[in-house]
Structure 1
Amino acid sequence: MRDGVVLRADVYRPTTGGPWPVLLTRLPYGKNLPMLAALMDPVGKARRGFLVVVQDTRGRSASDGEWEPWTSEMDDGYDTVRWAAALPGSNGSVGMFGASYFGNTQWMAALAKPPELKAISPMVTWSEPDDGLFARGGAQELGITVPWSLTQGVDTLMRRHADDRMALGQALMALVGDLDAIANTTYWELPAGHHPVYERHGIAELGYERSRREPEWSASCRVAGRQAEVDLPSLNTGGWYDIFCQGTLDNYAAARAAGRPAKLIMGPWSHTGNATGYLGDVNFGMAASTELLGFRGRFADQELGWFRQWLTPDAESPQPELPPVLLFVMGTNQWREEQEWPLSRAVDTDLFLRAGDRLAFDAPEAGEEADAFTYDPADPVPTVGGALLMSNEFPPGPLDQARVEARPDVLVYTTDPLTEDLEVTGRVRAHLTAATDAPTTDWVVRLCDVDPGGVSRNVVDGIVRAVATPGEFTEQVVDLWSTSHVFRARHRLRVHVTSSSFPRWDRNLNTGEPSDQGTRSRPAHQSIAHDSARPSRIVLPVVPAPAKEQA
Structure 2
Amino acid sequence: MRCADGVRLAARLWRPPGSGPWPALLMRQPYGSALASTITYAHPRWYAERGFLVVVQDVRGRGESEGTFGGFAQEAADGAETVRWVRHLPECNGRLGTYGFSYQGLTQLLNAGDPRAAEASFPDALAPAMCGLDERLDWASEGGAHWWALGLGWALQLAAQGARRRDDLQAWQALRRSLETGDYLLEGFALLERHDPEGMGLAWLRANPRDPAGWRVHTPSPVLLRRPLLLIGGWHDPHLRGVLDLWRRARAAGGEPALRIGAWSHLQWRGGVDRHQLAFFQRHLGVAAPPGGHGEEPEEGAARDIAPGAIGLQDATTGAWFTEAPAPGGAGPRWHLASDGRAAIQREEGRLCRDAGGPVGPVVLVHDPWRPVPGRGGHLGGESRLLDRADLDARGDVACFTSAPLERSQRLVGWPVVRLGVEADQPGFDLCAALSAVSAEGEAALQLCTGVLRVVGREARRPLERILRLQPLAATLRAGERLRLSLAPAAWPQVAVNGGDGEEPRGGPAARQREITLTLLLDSARLEITPLWSPLSDGAPPDVAAN
Range class of TM-score, shorter chain: 0.7 to 0.9
**TM-superposition CA deviations, 1:393-426 (whole Å, max 9, x none):** x311111102311222111111111111122111
Cα deviation code 1:129-187 (max 9, x no counterpart) = 322411111100112111112222222112223xxxxxx443333222211232xx331
Tell me if structure 1 keeps the 8 A contact 2:40–2:269. Answer: no
Counterpart for residue 431 of structure 2? 443
What does 1:57-456 correspond to in 2, within 5 Å?
A: 57-109=59-111, 113=115, 114-116=118-120, 117-161=123-167, 168-182=168-182, 185-189=183-187, 195-202=189-196, 204-206=199-201, 207-209=203-205, 211-212=207-208, 218-219=215-216, 222=218, 230-275=225-270, 290=272, 299-312=273-286, 317-320=297-300, 321-323=303-305, 324-338=310-324, 340-341=325-326, 347-355=331-339, 356-365=349-358, 368-388=360-380, 394-454=382-442, 455-456=444-445
Q: Map Cα deviations across residues 417-436 of structure 1 (whole Å, 9 max, x no partner).
A: 11111221112111011111
Aligned to 1:286: none
User: Deviations for 1:208-243, whole angstroms, at most 9, x for unmatched residues?
Assistant: 136559967643x636x9767622111011111111
Match of 1:485 in 2: 475
Q: Report the residue type matching 1:472 in the other structure.
A: R
Residue matched to 1:475: 465
Instruction: Tell me the distance in 2 between the aligned counterparts of 1:40 and 1:28.
Output: 18
CA distance in 2, matches of 1:333, 1:342: 23
Match of 2:453 in 1: 464
* Residue aligned with 2:333, SS: strand
CA separation of 1:352 and 1:208: change in aligned 2, threshold 3 A: same
User: Structure 1 residues 56, 121: CA separation in 2 closer, same or farther (over 3 Å shift)?
Assistant: same
| SS of residue matched to 1:177 | helix
- The verdict on how the C-alpha distance between 1:210 and 1:529 changes in structure 2, with shifts beyond 3 A counting, is closer
C-alpha distance in 1, partners of 2:452/2:113? 30
Q: Which amino acid aligns with 1:329?
A: D
Partner SS state of residue 30, structure 1? coil
Task: Give identity over the alignment, percent.
Answer: 30
Which residue identity does 2:406 align to in structure 1? L
| Change in CA separation of 1:471 and 1:45 when aligned onto 2, cut-off 3 Å | closer
Is contact 1:228–1:254 with CA below 8 Å preserved after alignment? no
Q: Secondary structure at the match of 1:39?
A: coil
1:314–1:151: structure 2 CA closer, same or farther, 3 Å change rule?
closer
CA distance change for structure 1 residues 479 and 110 in 2, over 3 Å: closer, same or farther?
Answer: farther
Distance 1:111 1:415, change over 3 A: farther
Task: Tell me if structure 1 keeps the 8 A contact 2:136–2:212.
Answer: no
Which whole-Å CA distance do the structure 1 matches of 2:441 and 2:530 have between them?
26
Aligned to 2:11, which of 4, 9, 13? 9
Give the whole-Å Cα distance in 2 for the aligned partners of 1:54 and 1:74.
Answer: 17
Letter of the aligned partner of 2:364 in structure 1? A
Letter in 1 for 2:43: D
Report the Cα distance in structure 2 between the residues aligned to 1:433 and 1:50, rounded to whole angstroms: 56
> Distance in 1 between the 2:526 and 2:212 partners?
33
CA contact (8 A) 2:364 2:520 kept: yes
2:544 corresponding residue in structure 1:
none
**Of 7, 22, 27, which aligns to 2:29?**
27
The offset of 1:488, in angstroms, is: 1.2
Correspondence 1:52 to 2:43: no
Normalization by structure 2: what TM-score?
0.84
Q: Distance between the aligned counterparts of 2:287 and 2:51, measured in 1?
A: 14
Counterpart pick for 2:513 among 502, 510, 521: 521
Deviations along 1:12-58, one digit per CA (max 9) or x if unpaired, are 22232422111000011111138637725211111111111000111
Structure 1 alignment gaps of length 5 or more: 162-167, 276-288, 291-298, 544-551
- Please list the CA deviations of residues 368-402 of structure 1 after superposition, one character each: whole Å capped at 9, or x if unmatched: 320001113342211111113x5xxx311111102
Instruction: List gaps (5 residues or longer) in structure 2.
Output: 290-295, 340-348, 533-547
Answer with 426-435 or 311-320: which moved more: 311-320
Deviations 1:426-474 (A, max 9, x none): 1211101111111121211211111223210111111122244465311
Kindly state the Cα deviation for residue 491 of structure 1 after the two structures are TM-superposed: 0.4
User: For the residues of structure 2 that align with 1:334 and 1:19, how far apart are their CA atoms?
Assistant: 40
Residue in 2 that maps onto 1:504: 494
SS in 2 for 1:88: coil
Distance of aligned partners of 1:253 and 1:34 in 2 relative to their CA distance in 1, 3 Å threshold: closer
Does structure 2 retain, via aligned residues, the 8 Å contact 1:445–1:498? yes
Q: Determine the C-alpha separation between the residues in 1 that align with 2:213 and 2:45.
A: 39
CA contact (8 A) 1:111 1:230 kept: no
> What is the one-letter code of the residue matched to 1:476?
R
Q: Is the 8 A contact 1:450 1:491 kept in 2?
A: yes
Q: 1:188 is aligned with what amino acid?
A: L
Whether the 8 Å contact between 2:278 and 2:298 is mirrored in structure 1 is no
The letter of the residue matching 1:460 is C
Q: 1 CA distance for matches of 2:60 and 2:531? A: 46
Matched residue SS, 1:347: coil
2:227 alignment partner AA: L
Q: Distance in 2 between matches of 1:401 and 1:491?
A: 15
Corresponding position of 1:284: none
Q: How many residues align?
A: 498
In structure 2, the residue corresponding to 1:418 is in which secondary structure? coil
- CA displacement 1:471-508 (0-9 Å, x = unmatched): 53111000113111111110000001112111111222
Q: Give 1:303 deviation, angstroms.
A: 1.1
- What is the rounded CA distance, in whole Å, between the counterparts of 2:98 and 2:89 in structure 1? 15
- Is the alpha carbon distance of 1:333 and 1:227 closer, same or farther for their aligned partners in structure 2, counting shifts above 3 Å? farther
Task: Mark the CA change 1:305 to 1:132 in structure 2 (over 3 Å): closer, same or farther.
Answer: same
